[in-house]
Amino acid sequence: RKTIITSIFMNGWNQKSNALQSLLGLFLQSAHTPYKVIDTLAHLGISVSADMINLAIQSLSKELHNSLQCLGWSLLASYTYDNFNVDLKTHAPTVEKSNNLLKHLTSGLLFPL
């Protein structure tokens, strides 16, 4: 409780002091919390707004893309691929839907050496 209250006060004094609010916002986004709830918590100072969460995710994605690209160019990485199948079953089959719901997918990983 003390940590949350202190973090809310710190955010009130300095808008750049929002580490707890940012982490809570990312958690709420990953838990599929509705935007109205996130914005309400942002107005209370408990979380950051949904727009800030989206900007943070975009920024993290760009940073990750750039670091993976640099790792791939350095030739100090190992590439791993895996093929897997996913069977998408439905509860009530219909005439319109195909019976072939088996999807063939490939995942790839990049490991630094």
Q: Cβ(28)–Cβ(44) under 8 Å?
A: no
Give dist(CA 29, CA 13) in Å, integer. 25
- Per-residue pLDDT tens, the chain, 113 aa: give them: 666 666 555 555 455 557 778 888 888 998 998 989 998 988 887 888 889 889 989 999 999 999 989 988 988 888 899 999 988 777 666 666 666 678 899 998 888 88
Q: Cβ(25)–Cβ(31) under 8 Å?
A: no
Give dist(CA 52, CA 25) in Å, integer. 9
